[in-house]
Structure formats: structure tokens, C-alpha cells
A and B are shown apart, each in its own frame.
Chain A
Amino acid sequence: MLSRHKYKGKLIVVEGIDGSGKSTQIDLLFKSLQAGTRTVFFTEWNSSKIVKSTTKLGKKKKILTPTTFSLLQATDFAERWENNMLPVLKAGAIVLADRYAFTAFARDVARGVDPNWVRNLYSFAPQPDLVFYFRVPLDISVERILAGRSQIKYYEAGMDLGLSDNHVTSFRLFQQRIQNEYEKMIDEFNFTVIDGTLPVEEQQTEVRRIVRNSLRGWTGLPNPMRPPRRRKTTAS
């Protein structure tokens, strides 16, 4: 269990396996919130500079183990948490995160690390105000990924687990394991499940409705680009 946060801002997170459509959805949500009266900040998984060269080296030489991979990703997350998310939440912004600690809980455990160990690693991170989990059948998500790519990379395919010599087969098996972990976390971390097989627009309507409800009556940090002159825009 993650602790509740007491910052002025709001933390909204999207999670799901690769190809679940969560990035598309959070991008649309980001755009709609940017046009609103509050300040919004976006951050995504594995985007800190601090471990970039190390992770790259480890991937290239294939020397990452489940534990070192997990610790490097936690370093990346901690850097973004301390330097981006935390101060912005304190300032009262809406933070949108494309993947959060739950990605580590799903992937690292799928790779074989101890579930309690990885939960402790991230225990400095609080429970978000909303966690959208995009659920799709594996066939659909794998097909979406394969359609857009010429190849799947070694670690992305979970080749380090030795599940199969074939990248696509390995990717499928790895994603299946990750999905199983996500499913187990629905109650543990209070996920809001979104049906990722619905049309993009329908999903977005649902996401926006839930976000709007959750933000009702909360002011937060004003959007400097759009002073809140017309009260009715937020209520409509």
C-alpha cells in the first residue's frame, strides 16, 4: 500500500501493458486540461537523464539483471519524483504521469523480483488521486505493437527471461505475465479500469468525465495562460 499524499495538487496516472492505448488517452487528457483554468504538468516513464547512459550501456551489452534493471528504473523515477512531480504537486498543479510505480510492480515482478521488495523501493511515492488502468486482450495489444514496428527490442521483448528464442513469442509471454500482475493490483491500488477495446473517443469521454468529477470543487494552481474569467466553463 502506498501512503496518501497531502499536497495541494492532484496526481493522475495511466497504466496498462504496451499497446493498451494509455499514452493516446493521457495525451488527449493533457490537451483538454491545458485548455482549462488550472496548471497541468506531464511526465513519462524512464525519461530522466540521470540513468540514461547507464541503462543504454546495460541494454547494449545485455548485462542488466532483473534487480539492476529495477534499481535503475527506480533511480530514474526517484529523480523525476523529487525534481519534477513533488515540487509541482506542492505548487498545486495537476500532474499527469504516463506510467507510475505500478509499471515497476508489474514488469519487475514479471521478471522475477520479489513483489514486496520492489514495493518497498517505491514506498516514497504516494498513492495517486486517480489511476486509470487500460485493459485490453493480449491479442489486440500485441497486434497494435507489431503493426507499428519493424522489430521489438531485446529487453522490451523480455528476451532476458529466456522464455522463447523468438522475439514475438517472448514478447507475448512477457506481456501476459505483466498483465497478470496488473490484474492483481486493481484492488490493491484502487485502479479505475477502462475498457481499452472501445473507440478512442468513447474512452476519452469516460476518462474526462471521471477526471472532472474528481476535480469538482478543487481550485489548484491557476493556468497562467488562461485566467479564470468565465466561471461556467469548468461546470459545463
Chain B
Amino acid sequence: MEKVEFYGAGFPYNPVDELPGKLIVLEGTDGVGRSTQIEMLRVWLEKQGHAVSDTGLKRSPLTGTGMNAAKMGNTFTPMTMSLFYAADFADRLENQIIPALKAGFIVLSDRYFYSIMARDIVRGADPQWARKVYGFALKPDLIIYLKADIETLVSRIVHGRGFDYWEAGMDIRKSDNLYDSFYIYQSELIKQFEIMSAEYGFLTINASRSINAVFSDLRKAIEVHLQTTHP
């Protein structure tokens, strides 16, 4: 990282002044192919001799079990889900991401707080409130938004794992069936990503194409970034 910057106050009790690693974020809605691309990027980066660490939502050892239990029991409200996810994100940021960046790793993050915030806002959270909650978040070196239209997402979901209660936003009852609900919910998420794209400087890659075409664009974007910052 050229300069360590946070969106707000960061972690005042634990200041960091230097992070030699790189934080690269892949954002996008469900079904855009983020995890496939991250797997491929990891192999590619490691071949070039970079130490790579990856992380994704809900992978915190602190909150993982408790969050799944609450999801299973449908005991979450939009507000408690929002705060619980923020705890998961903070735990991974402080205990995994920042230490890896300190050690000079390239950290590939399968989503960042932008996804969580998009979901919170679609569920009725105040956009300004949500932005301030993530005032502790580190500004990434590169944020790539894998953008796919709703039709592409639907075909990938149907072809792949099928519709899921949460991915369809069934908890907010936009419709009584998974298909319509998925369509409405994911379209609203895409709208939120559009708003955040300009605000946070996302680099957009069209993900409605083949895996290899997307991978090729990703590689180029990362290469350019690494070259300009590591002359």
C-alpha cells in the first residue's frame, strides 16, 4: 500500500502506518463468478512469486457459527444482521487482512463491505448510517466490480446451484416465490453497486462473458496496478 487510509476513524487504539502488501477486492452480486476468478488469480499470482491470502464474507472464526445459527432460526432483523456482519468484517479485517498486509501479502478479498452495505440498504438501512458504520474499513488498493446483468445472473443461478432463500432476499418478502424475489432483490443490489461504483472508484469489468475473457481482463487490470505502484 502506498498510503494507509481508512474511510473513517479506522482503529484508533491500534494505529498502522505501513502496510507493504496489497489489498485487492472483487465485488459483485451473487452468481457473477467471483470465487472462480479468485481461485484462478491466486494460482496466477503465486506463479509470479507473490504471497497470496484470500478472505471472504462470513469467514470469521469469531462470528461464523453464531451467524449461521441466527440465519437458520430466521431470528435476524435487518438491523441485527447488518451489525453482526459488520462484526464479522471487522474481525477479519483486524485479525486476518491487516496482519497479512503487514507481512507483505497480496490479499484477495471475495467481496468487501460494499456488498454488505448494499444488502443493508436494500433492506431499509439508512445509507449514511451504513457508511459511517464502516468508518473502520481500510481503503483497498484496487476494487474490481464484476458486473453482470440480471438475466445473466438468473441463468447462472439456475444452471448452477439453484435459488437460495437469502440470495433471493426472501427475508424481506418482495415476492412470494424465489424466482421473482431473486429478480427484484438482485436488481436492487445492482442499483446500489452502481451508486457505489463512482463513490468508491470501482474498476468495472463486464462479467456477462466467458470465464476466460473475464480472467484475462482481471489479469490485465492487476498487472497494470502492480506495475504502476511497484516500478
Contact = CB atoms under 8 A, between A and B. Distances in A.
Interface of A: 49-54, 57-58, 63-68, 71-72, 74-75, 78-79, 81-83, 111-114, 116-117, 120-121, 123-124, 161
A58 B84 contact: no
Task: State the majority secondary structure of interface residues on A.
Answer: helix
A18 B129 CA distance: 30
Q: Which of A66, A67, A121 has the most CB of B within 10 A?
A: A67
Interface of B: 8-9, 11-14, 61-63, 65-67, 69-70, 75-77, 79-80, 83-84, 86-87, 90-91, 94-95, 129, 132-133, 135-136
Nearest to A124: B79
Contacts of B14: 65, 112
A75 B80 CA distance: 5
Nearest to B87: A71
Contact of B70 (A50, A65, A68): A50
Q: Which 9 A-B residue pairs are closest in the complex by CB-CB distance?
A: A112-B13, A54-B66, A114-B9, A71-B87, A75-B83, A120-B132, A78-B79, A67-B90, A79-B80
Nearest to A82: B77
A93 to B, nearest CB: 20
Contacts of B80: 50, 75, 78-79, 82
Given A113-B13, A116-B9, 19 more contacts: A50-B76, A53-B66, A57-B62, A63-B61, A65-B14, A66-B13, A67-B11, A71-B84, A71-B87, A78-B80, A81-B79, A111-B13, A112-B14, A114-B12, A114-B135, A116-B132, A117-B136, A120-B135, A121-B133
Contacts of A52: 66
B79 A82 contact: yes
A163 to B, nearest CB: 12
B12 A112 contact: yes
Contacts of B94: 65, 67-68
